Structures are given as C-alpha cells and as structure tokens.
C-alpha cells in the first residue's frame, strides 16, 4: 500500500532499536557469507564443472559486475522511495540468484545465479540510508561500522565453511544454505525495521542516466575481465572497449547535466570531500584486491622452493584470520573516523599495507608469514575504506546518503576487481611456459606492486589534504 504523507510524518521520527540494527547486521552477515563462498572453492568448482581457470574466474567476476552496475541505482532509488522498500525487493532478487546457483547444472546457469546475486552489493548503501535517517550522525557512524563489519564477518563464515560444505555435501549447498538465511532474515527486517519516509519530489526518476551509468560500469568491468583473460586480446579490441566505455561515460555526463532530477548530482561529485574519498577508496581497494588474489594462489601452488600445495579447506583456514581482521577493522573504521578523521586512518592503513607487502616480497617461505600478511592488510584496508564510507555518509546531505555511499561501494568493488586482474596478469606474465605455473619471481613482483599501490595512498592524501579533512 502506498505510504501517505500523514503516515510518513508519524514514522519519520522513529528511532532504530538495537533489534532493528541487529537484524540489519545479521542480514549483512548472511550476504557476506554468500558472496565469499566462491573464493576458496574455485578450484573445486572448476573441476566439477569441467571449466578452465580463465572461465572459472568469471564466476566471481559476474557478481562484481552486477554489483558495480546496480549499486548506484539502488542507492538513488532508496533515497527516493525509502531504503526499506528497495532493500526488501533487492533481497528477493538475491534469493532467486542463490537458488539458481544452487540448482545450476553447468557454468552458464551458475553465472546467471551469480549475476542475480550481485545486486546484494546495493544492500550496503540502503542500510546506510536506514541508519542515517533514524539515528544521530555520531550513532550513524558506529552503526555503519557495525553493518560493514558483519558483512565482512560473513566473508569469514563463507571462507571457513565453503570447503567443508562442498566436500561434505556438494558445492550447490554452498549457495543454498546462505540463501535460506538471507530469506529468513529479510522477513525479520521487514517486520522490525520502521518505514523510512521517502523523499518527495515532483521530478521523475532519471532512467536514461541510470541506464547510461549502469552501462558504463558494466562495459568497464566486462572490458577489464576480457582484456586480461587468456593472455589478453588484440590491441584493436582493447581500443574498442576503451571507446565504448568513454562514449557511455560521456553520454552519461551529458544526460546528467541536462536532467531536472539527475541520478547523480554532478555538483556533489565535484565536491572535494566526495571525489577525494572516491580516489582514495579506489587506490586502497586495488591494493587489497591484489592481496586477495595473490595469497590463495601462493597457498595452492606446489613447486620446489615455494608454494604449499594447500587444498580448498586448508586455504579457507589460512584465510580465516584475515577475514576476522577485516571484520574487526570495519567495526573500528567508523569509530576511528569519528575520533581521528578519515585522513589519519587512511595514512596509517597505507603505511601498514605497504610495509607488509614489501616485507612479504622477501619473506614468504612459511604459512604463518602469509597468514599474518593477510590479517594485517585486511585490517588496514577495512579500516581505511570504512572510515571513508562513514565520513562521507555524515558529510553529505541526508537526501544524498544513498547515492554517495553507493558510489563509494562501487568504487571499492571496481578497485578490488582491478587489483585481482592486475595480479592475475602479473602471474600470467611470469608463468612457466611448459606448465603454466606462476614462478616465484612473479609472486615477488606482485607483492611489490601491491605495496607500491598502497603507498600511492599517501601521495593522494597529501595532494588532497584539504578535501579529505573537509
């Protein structure tokens, strides 16, 4: 039933209770679990489906592509129609995707399921809308940190349980069990969460802008995956991808400048605090994505003098401390942003990540070295990106919280995907010609590049100091 203006006046002052915040957090936990089950089980999925590593890489990338395309639209719709209403509908799509993946007989159907699941990325800015509308700015920062922490904690659960579930039951249950949890928790959120009043406007939704923005992100992500797949593609194809992305982006800017109610207010993006946060998030996430790809590969490879030949369950156990550190860091990030400011938090995180990666380039002969490096870098990246999210959510106007945080989440997703592809290209370039196995110098190069990318954050902070402090 359509919400009336009178009823909106009643529900708008309602504050969130801990049960409502807890329900949002548990939903984020279930979503994080569903998102993360693929990473440790990817070799198993490749064997079960009979696909190559290049084709298997599309399983995780499909979710990222959809997330990057949908999140800005979800945030804007949440601002306009209410975060709760849009969140519930997105969760219905995620549930359908999880069941599709769980019943998939082959790679195409599994990819379809992952595409549908990708809309889960839009749940984060919608959650931010809800807490921002019903809590004070200080309370919002803490609540945002909690939700992001539980989403990251879900990755811990998925990483730990993916191997035992796939090996004990079947790989299909890796998708079905988290989907059941998402469906049940969504029902709880629907009952407990107060309705947030939509922002009334006489202007319609900027659908041309939404389509062009989603198309730009989709073309960029698909181009990123294609260009680095199977040794790359001809230069002419690379140029064609670049032209398509540039054309869509240009068309989007033109449409947004002329729209009466644009999907993204370009004046907001022009604010130093906003675009500085986007640049920093991209750099941090790119370094994090490289680490995310390199460490499991080194755990799995088995060669004389390097590698450990670990299986799916063992890889999950090795990655578990990093998932724990990431969950803790996200809960700390919102509080740290409030106490010290996003700039100081980013500087500390960049120093820790850069030092860890440079050290790992020289010391990677024992499992504990990789486990410690994963924990340190996950904590540093989580604190930095969450601080930027929390700072941005309280720096923009309430009506722009969804789209602003949605753009930062998209930037984070793009950065991770970019880092994964760069790391994969480095390993491919340094692979043995006969076996295709990455060499030890390739891993060393990857770790060093990840450290240098993290150090780039320090330069960005220095150049954009005034904007970040604002």
Q: pLDDT tens digits, residue range 237-288?
A: 667 778 888 888 888 888 877 777 676 666 766 676 677 778 888 888 888 8
Among 195, 219, 252, identify where a domain stops. 195
Q: In which band, very low, low, confident or very high, does the pLDDT at 402 lie, cut at 50, 70 and 90?
A: low
E strand map for 221-325:
302-303, 306-307
Quick check: helix, strand or coil at residue 350? helix
**If you average pLDDT over each of 60-64, 156-160, 195-199, 386-390, which comes out highest?**
156-160
In a domain, 201, yes or no: no
Give the pLDDT band of residue 26 (cuts 50, 70, 90).
confident
Task: Evaluate whether residue 242 is within a structural domain.
Answer: yes
Q: Which residue has the tokens 């400048």?
A: 257
Same-domain pairing of 437 and 330:
yes
| 20 vs 318: which has the higher pLDDT | 318
Q: What is the mean pLDDT of residues 382-406?
A: 69
Q: What is the mean pLDDT of residues 178-201?
A: 76
Report in angstroms the alpha-carbon separations of 297 from 37, 105, 449: 16, 27, 16
Q: Are residues 121 and 22 in the same domain?
A: yes
Question: Which long-range contacts does 48-52 make (Cβ < 8 Å, 24+ apart)?
Answer: 48/171, 49/106, 49/107, 49/110, 51/107
Residue 153 sits in a domain whose CATH number is 1.20.1250.20
pLDDT tens digits, one per residue of 307-347: 787 777 888 888 888 877 877 776 676 677 667 777 777 78
Residue 3 has pLDDT above 50, yes or no: no
The whole-angstrom separation of Cα 42 and Cα 321 is 20
DSSP of 102-124, one letter per residue? HT-SSHHHHHHHHHHHGGGGGHH
Tell me, yes or no, whether 5 lies in a domain.
no
Which has the closest alpha carbon to 440: 363, 351, 354? 363
Domain boundary among 158, 174, 195: 195
User: Does residue 1 form part of some domain?
Assistant: no
378: in domain = yes
Q: Which two tokens stand for residue 174?
A: 């890796």
**Do the Cβ atoms of 148 and 131 come closer than 8 Å?**
no
Query: Is the same domain home to 370 and 294?
Result: yes
Grade residue 55 by pLDDT with cuts at 50, 70 and 90: low
Tell whether 144 and 293 lie within a shared domain.
no
Report yes or no: 208 and 247 within 8 Å, Cβ to Cβ.
no
Reported as a pLDDT band with limits 50, 70 and 90, residue 135 is low
Q: DSSP assignment, residue 306? A: E
- Average pLDDT of span 123-139: 66
Indicate whether 257 and 384 sit together in one domain.
no
Shared domain check, 350 and 338: yes
Q: Is residue 2 part of a domain?
A: no
60 burial level (CB within 10 Å; 0-12, 13-18, 19+): buried
Where residue 39 falls among pLDDT bands split at 50, 70, 90?
Answer: confident
Are 34 and 179 in contact by the 8 Å Cβ rule? The answer is yes
Residue 294 lies in a domain: yes
Within this chain, do residues 46 and 157 fall inside the same structural domain, yes or no?
Answer: yes
pLDDT in tens, 289-318: 888 888 888 887 776 667 787 777 888 888
How far is it, in rounded angstroms, from Cα 205 to Cα 123? 20
Q: Which of 174, 195, 216 is the last residue of a domain?
A: 195
Domain count, the chain: 3
Two tokens, residue 186: 């969504």
**Between residues 85 and 287, which one has the greater pLDDT?**
287
Average pLDDT in the chain: 75
Task: Give the pLDDT band of residue 2 (cuts 50, 70, 90).
Answer: very low
Distances (CA, A) of 359 to 244, 332, 353, 401: 40, 25, 10, 39
The answer on 273 and 247 residing in a single domain is no
- The verdict on 425 and 285 lying in the same domain is yes
Question: Taking the alpha carbons of 92, 94, 95, 100 in that order, is the dihedral positive or negative?
Answer: positive
Of the chain, the percentage scoring pLDDT greater than 70 comes to: 69
* Pair 167, 39 in one domain: yes
| Stated pTM of the model | 0.70
Listed residue (362, 360, 355, 386) closest to 371, CA to CA: 360
Q: Are 171 and 45 in contact (CB under 8 A)?
A: yes
Same domain membership, residue 298 and residue 233: no
**Of 42, 57, 49, 53, residue with least CA distance to 436:** 53
* Domain interval for residue 376: 264-470
Mean pLDDT of 374-389: 81
Residue 4 maps to a domain: no
pLDDT for residue 195 is more than 60: yes
Q: Is the pLDDT of residue 84 over 50?
A: yes
Instruction: Output the CA angle 186-192-193, nearest 5 degrees.
Output: 80
Q: Are residues 249 and 371 in the same domain?
A: no
């Amino acid at each position: 039933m359509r919400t009336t203006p009178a009823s909106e006046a009643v529900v708008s002052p309602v504050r969130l209770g801990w049960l409502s915040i807890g329900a949002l957090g548990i939903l984020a936990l279930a979503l994080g679990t569903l998102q993360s089950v693929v990473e440790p089980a990817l070799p198993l999925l490749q064997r079960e489906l009979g696909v190559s590593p290049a084709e298997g890489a599309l399983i995780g990338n499909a979710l990222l592509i959809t997330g990057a395309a949908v999140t800005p639209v979800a945030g804007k719709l949440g601002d306009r129609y209410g975060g709760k209403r849009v969140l519930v509908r997105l969760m219905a799509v995620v549930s359908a995707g999880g069941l599709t993946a769980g019943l998939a007989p082959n790679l195409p159907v599994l990819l379809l399921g992952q595409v549908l699941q990708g809309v889960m990325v839009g749940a984060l800015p919608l959650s931010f809308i809800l807490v921002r509308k019903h809590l004070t700015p200080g309370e919002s920062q803490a609540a945002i940190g909690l939700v992001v922490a539980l989403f990251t904690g879900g990755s811990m659960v998925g990483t730990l349980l993916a191997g035992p579930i796939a090996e004990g039951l079947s790989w299909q249950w890796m998708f079905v069990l988290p989907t059941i949890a998402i469906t049940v928790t969504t029902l709880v959120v629907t009952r407990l969460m107060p309705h947030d009043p939509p922002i009334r406007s006489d202007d319609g939704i900027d659908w041309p802008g939404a389509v062009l923005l989603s198309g730009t992100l989709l073309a960029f992500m698909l181009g990123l995956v294609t260009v680095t797949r199977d040794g790359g593609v001809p230069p002419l194809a690379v140029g064609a991808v670049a032209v398509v992305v540039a054309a869509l982006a240009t068309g989007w800017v033109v449409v947004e400048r002329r729209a009466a109610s644009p999907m993204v207010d370009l004046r907001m993006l022009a604010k130093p605090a906003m675009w500085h946060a986007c640049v920093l998030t991209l750099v941090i996430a790119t370094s994090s994505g490289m680490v995310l790809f390199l460490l499991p590969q080194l755990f799995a490879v088995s060669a004389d003098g390097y590698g450990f030949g670990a299986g799916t369950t063992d890889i999950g156990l090795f990655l578990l401390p990093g998932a724990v550190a990431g969950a803790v860091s996200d809960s700390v990030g919102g509080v740290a942003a409030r106490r010290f400011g996003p700039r100081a938090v980013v500087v500390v995180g960049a120093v820790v990540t850069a030092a860890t990666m440079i050290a790992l380039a020289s010391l990677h002969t024992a499992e504990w070295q990789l486990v410690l490096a994963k924990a340190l870098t996950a904590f540093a990246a989580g604190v930095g990106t969450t601080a930027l999210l929390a700072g941005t959510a309280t720096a923009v106007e309430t009506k722009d919280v969804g789209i602003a945080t949605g753009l930062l989440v998209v930037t984070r997703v793009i950065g991770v995907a970019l880092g994964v592809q760069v790391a994969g290209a480095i390993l491919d370039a340094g692979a043995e010609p006969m076996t295709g196995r990455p060499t030890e110098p390739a891993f060393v190069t990857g770790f060093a590049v990840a450290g240098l990318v993290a150090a780039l954050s320090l330069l960005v902070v220095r150049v954009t100091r005034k904007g970040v402090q604002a």
